[in-house]
Structures are given as C-alpha cells and as structure tokens.
Amino acid sequence: MTIASVSPLSPDKDWWRGAVIYQIYPRSFQDTNGDGIGDLKGITERLSHVASLGADAIWISPFFTSPMKDFGYDVADYQDVDPIFGGLADFDLLIAEAHRLGIRVMIDLVLSHTSDKHPWFVESRSSRSNPKADWYVWADSKPDGTPPTNWLSIFGGSAWQWDPTRLQYFMHNFLTSQPDLNLHNPEVQDALLSVGRFWLERGVDGFRLDTINFYFHDKELRDNPSLAPERRNAQTAPAVNPYNYQEHLYDKNRPENLDFLKRFRALMEEFPAIAAVGEVGDSQRGLEIAGEYTSGGDKMHMCYAFEFLAPDPLTPAFIAETQHALEKAAPEGWVCWAFSNHDVVRHVSRWGLGVTDHDAHAKLLASLLLSLRGSVCIYQGEELALPEAELAYEDLQDPYGIQFWPDFKGRDGCRTPMVWDRAVSAGGFSSGKPWLPVPEAHLGRTVAAQEADSDSVLHHYRRFLAFRRQHPALAKGEIAFETAEGAVLAFVRSYGNERLFCAFNMSPVPRAVDRPAEPVEILDGHGYDSRIEGDKIELPAWSGFFARYA
C-alpha cells in the first residue's frame, strides 16, 4: 500500500526553508512490544508530542533491515523494515498519522555503503567476474601485500579490508562490515535512485542523506596528504583517532558527486514538495562543501556541517564567524543547523561545564538555535534538556566507543531512551529492559514532569517555536550581525517588511548591549523579560531580547 496520494499537507515546495525538523532515533523513542527496543508503532503513538512542540517535520534515523552492527547504518535491505522496528504496514500507518497531524516525514538514507550482509555485497565478493563485481570499491594490494592506499577508517585503522575469496581489498570508511558502494558505476547509481523512488512512492516527504560527501572515491587511488597538526580538529572524528591526521582529498569530497546529487534532485522533483538535507562530514572544508552541494537549485535543498556539533566552545564570536564563513562559501545555499544529534555529546553537557542554572542555559541555547539563519534540527530529548548519559563500559553498545574507550566513550551517551513518565517502567519507554540504561538523572526531566511545570524547558521550546512561526524573519530571513563580543551576541533578521533585532546574553551574569539606533517595538511571547533602560538593553543571565523595527 502506498499513501502518498492521501497526504493532507499543503504542496508548498518551499516548506523546508526555515523548517524545524525533529530527529527521532527509533531504537530509543518508544517501545511498544516490551523487547526494550523502540519501534515504528512507538513513534506513531508519540507523534502527538512532536506536534505539540510545533515541529514541521520528523527525521527518522535508519529502520531498514540490518544486522545492527552499526545500529541501522549498515543496511541489508533498503526496501524493508527491520523486524525489531515492525513492518512496512507500520511505516504506512506512521506516515498517515504524521500527515494527519500536519507533520512531514523525512527518512535517513545511507547511500555511501551497505552492510556486508546485503545481497549486493554477498554477490560482489563471490568472484571478480559476477554481475555485481564492480558494485563496491575493490582494489589489488600493493606488491608487498599492504592496502592500496593510506586511507583511514573513521572507526579506526585502515579503510581497507582484505577479502580472501577475491584476493583483493575492499574499502570501508566505517566498520569493516560496512563496505563502500562504487558510485562510479552507473548501475549502482540507478539502484540507489530506485531506493529513493520506492520511499517517495510510499509517501515520504524527504530525506536526510547520511555522509553525503563520502559517495565517491578517487578512481586513481591516490594517497591522502598529511595534515599539519595546527589544522587538525575533532569535528568529524574524536581527537584520539588518527583519521584527523590526514587531509581527506581522495577518499571523499570528490567532484563527481555533484552530478549524482543532480540526478537525485531530479528524482525528487518528480514528486510534490520533497526536500533533502545532506550531512557533510569534513573538518576542513565542511561549509565549503555544503555551499557546493546546495548551490544552483539543482542539488540538495540544504546541508549541515559539523561546526555546531563539534566540541569547540560556543561563543558569540564563533557563531558570527561560522555564519560569515557560510555566507562566503554558500551565498546562494541553505544550511540546517543542529546543536545535538545521535552521534555527538548532547550540547547541554558539551557546552555546560561549570553552568549552575542548567534550565536557563538550555533555554538560551534553544532560543539561539531557533533564531539563526537556516533550518533547524532538534534531537529527541533536547526539548527536555537531557544531559549526556554516563554509562559503564559493560553497558556500551556502540562499536565506536568500545574501540576508543576510555578516551572517547562513543555515542551511547546521547542515545539512551527517551523519558516520558517517571511513574512508568523505564521512564515510560518500555515495559522490558531497555537496550541502553535509562539514567537516573533523566528521570527527573520526563515529559510528564515538565508538562506540569509552565516554566520548564519543554514549555520554553513550545513557546519559542510558536514565536518563530509568528515571525517569518526568524525562519526565512537574512542575518546581519551587530555585536559578537564577549558574552553578548546581537543581530538583525530581515524578511519582507519585517526586521527583528535579536540579542542574547550567553553568560551567567547580567549584561547590557546598545539599543538599536532606530525606534523598535519590544516583542513578547518568547519567555524573556529583558528591557530597555536609556540607551542600553539590559539582559539578565542566560537571556534574550527581541524587538521589531517600527
């Protein structure tokens, strides 16, 4: 059954520009059958929560058939649902309910690689002459038997794995069980476009494209150059990973990708009001690549890089520098900002060291994120200000954390189950034992507890999303920075006839900023009590100020 034809959503092709997208990690959202793992029925049951926030869309992390070595990012069948999450009928019901509530559905497509259990790879590795022999990246060893290039895996070690059947190496940017597809082969491109068409016909409204800059490799198999120590950072991989020691010119970021992205965009244009956001993982050229991929109106609608997902401190100067760099790299492109997701330490912990007023800090970060130029991704539990979970080594599930423990603890700390109600088993997530522990610190921050407190972080998210909807300049407008010094950030958002002055105190003590030279009308409805005193705007600790030019 396909349901694309029954969607009550308006056919607004520009819905994504300034949209707020709520990311759902299905293993950890809601379990309905007691096996301790979230499922599609659980997402459907909890969509009313997403609707109450005022989000425009959901992004669902992978739920396809998978051996779960990387928890769904190792796909064994692109066109079916893994039984732990349910079946295709459950997905159809999810789509129907989301559309009934006015929520669009974006799904996470992993096109750079598959699981080694995928039938394509099983056939490809069986010989050098089978019909799919060239569907993955295979290469002979160097004369001494070592890997073809110096390319490294993000998960540690070489990006090449020896296969004793073909007597060749295959490439894997991630786990050895995640072989990279060869998108230089037109048949592979066609197969992946068919995957996109399958889900578009099933009713999805768009895609989040995982590791979008990893689709192509250098056909000449040239070695990556080393990277000077002062240029290394830990945006794409943790600091303990030697992956950061290379400039990744040849194992990803290849120019051939632009033509494939045009083909993918052409497919989406066959359907009404579809959008895609690409994940650009590169520590040196992330914004530049995002600009390339969103330029011209014929590739991606939007991309996000890792600037605000990195461990770097969030300061007014850093925010302004990042926005200016984006404008330079992508003058006609569009970005989708996120502070947290399923791969990084939750931002209230990442940026909250030493913060005593946890809730005020979380509210300020939410207001700031929702005021920047671009679309926005909110990660489940962010609206509750859930901190990063501290897990024991024996509770880890993530192979990344197990590999680099204890210097890097992996991604499990941001993937623990959503907490709905302390009075119910596992915080309302499951009647069984959850696949990851539910931290005690999270049980005091459940949805039920915050529903009962009008001053909670949850209610702040709702207020501010409603405020954003009332002022199109916040969603779609241009941005011009007025102040980015010390702890104070101020900018103007402009769209049509609306111009908004926005100021933020990113510190635990009161601050002041010069009032605009032009007359302004102070706005309310956002939850802050900042005021104008003479020629200054007085900003309490962790607060914002919003005014409209008269």
353: Cβ contacts below 8 Å, ≥ 6 apart: none
What does each C-alpha distance from 69 to 365, 397, 478 come to in angstroms? Answer: 33, 9, 43
Let me know whether 276 and 359 are in one domain: yes
Relative orientation angle of helices 286-294 and 257-268, to the nearest 10 degrees? 50
Let me know whether 278 and 361 are in one domain: yes
Confidence of residue 40 (pLDDT cuts 50, 70, 90): very high
Let me know whether 424 and 487 are in one domain: no
Mean pLDDT of 300-311: 92
Structure confidence at residue 231 (pLDDT)? 84
Would residue 270 show up in a list of annotated catalytic residues for this protein? yes
Compute the distance between CA of residue 423 and CA of residue 154 in angstroms, rounded to an integer: 41
Let me know whether 260 and 287 are in one domain: yes
Q: What is the tens place of the pLDDT at every residue in 98-138?
A: 999 999 999 999 999 999 999 999 999 999 999 999 999 99
Confidence of residue 2 (pLDDT cuts 50, 70, 90): very low
What CATH number is given to the structural domain containing 79? 3.20.20.80
Percent of the chain clearing pLDDT 90 (strictly above): 91
Compute the distance between CA of residue 506 and CA of residue 502 in angstroms, rounded to an integer: 13
Confidence of residue 235 (pLDDT cuts 50, 70, 90): low
Q: Is residue 121 part of a domain?
A: no
Compute the distance between CA of residue 150 and CA of residue 249 in angstroms, rounded to an integer: 12
Confidence of residue 140 (pLDDT cuts 50, 70, 90): very high
Judged by average pLDDT, the poorest of 151-155, 209-213, 306-310, 487-491 is 306-310
Q: How many helices (H) and strands (E) does the chain have?
A: 14, 21
3-state DSSP assignment of residue 147: coil
Helix (H) or strand (E) holding 328: helix 316-329
Q: Is residue 324 part of a domain?
A: yes
Nearest to 203, CA basis, from 271, 110, 102: 271
Structure confidence at residue 234 (pLDDT)? 66
Instruction: Output b/e per residue, 324-362; b: 16+ Cβ within 10 A.
Output: ebbbebbeebbbbbbbbbbbbbbbbbbbbeebeeebbbb
Q: Which residues pair with 543 in a beta bridge?
A: 505
Confidence of residue 237 (pLDDT cuts 50, 70, 90): confident
Match 């104008």 to its residue by tokens.
532
Which one of 443, 466, 489 terminates a domain?
466
Compute the distance between CA of residue 396 and CA of residue 387 in angstroms, rounded to an integer: 17
Q: Is residue 407 part of a domain?
A: yes
Q: Which residues pair with 77 in a beta bridge?
A: 65
Per the CB < 8 A criterion, the answer to whether 173 and 211 are in contact is yes
Let me know whether 324 and 222 are in one domain: yes
Is residue 211's pLDDT more than 80?
Answer: yes
Q: Is residue 292 part of a domain?
A: yes
φ, ψ (nearest 5 deg) of residue 445: -125, 30
Please, what sign has the CA dihedral across residues 46, 47, 52, 58? positive
Let me know whether 362 and 450 are in one domain: yes
Let me know whether 503 and 458 are in one domain: no
Per the CB < 8 A criterion, the answer to whether 311 and 345 are in contact is yes
Amino acid (one-letter) located at 130: N
Is residue 3's pLDDT more than 50?
Answer: no
Which one of 466, 486, 516 terminates a domain?
466
Let me know whether 370 and 271 are in one domain: yes
Relative orientation angle of helices 286-294 and 316-329, to the nearest 10 degrees? 40
Let me know whether 18 and 94 are in one domain: yes
Would residue 45 show up in a list of annotated catalytic residues for this protein? no
3-state DSSP assignment of residue 297: helix
**Which residue out of 108, 116, 180, 210 is catalytically annotated?**
210
Rg of the chain, C-alpha, whole Å = 23
Which one of 415, 432, 466 terminates a domain?
466
325: Cβ contacts below 8 Å, ≥ 6 apart: 287
Q: Which two tokens stand for residue 4?
A: 């694309």
Mean of the per-residue pLDDT values for the chain? 95
Is residue 4's pLDDT more than 60?
Answer: no
φ, ψ (nearest 5 deg) of residue 273: 55, 50
Compute the distance between CA of residue 30 and CA of residue 418 in angstroms, rounded to an integer: 7
Let me know whether 504 and 454 are in one domain: no
What CATH number is given to the structural domain containing 544? 2.60.40.1180
Q: Is residue 132 part of a domain?
A: no
Is residue 425's pLDDT more than 70?
Answer: yes
Q: Is residue 293 part of a domain?
A: yes
Match 């290469």 to its residue by tokens.
139
Q: Is residue 238 part of a domain?
A: yes
Q: Is residue 306 part of a domain?
A: yes
Per-residue DSSP letter, 428: G
**Which residue out of 140, 190, 270, 395 is catalytically annotated?**
270
Number of domains in the chain: 2
Mean pLDDT of 249-272: 98
Query: Domain range for residue 281?
Result: 4-113+186-466
CA 441 to chain centre: 24
Let me know whether 486 and 395 are in one domain: no
Compute the distance between CA of residue 385 and CA of residue 300 in angstroms, rounded to an integer: 31
Mean pLDDT of 202-231: 96
Q: Which two tokens stand for residue 32?
A: 């309905």
Confidence of residue 444 (pLDDT cuts 50, 70, 90): very high
**pTM across the whole model:** 0.96
Match 């992508």 to its residue by tokens.
330
Let me know whether 524 and 438 are in one domain: no
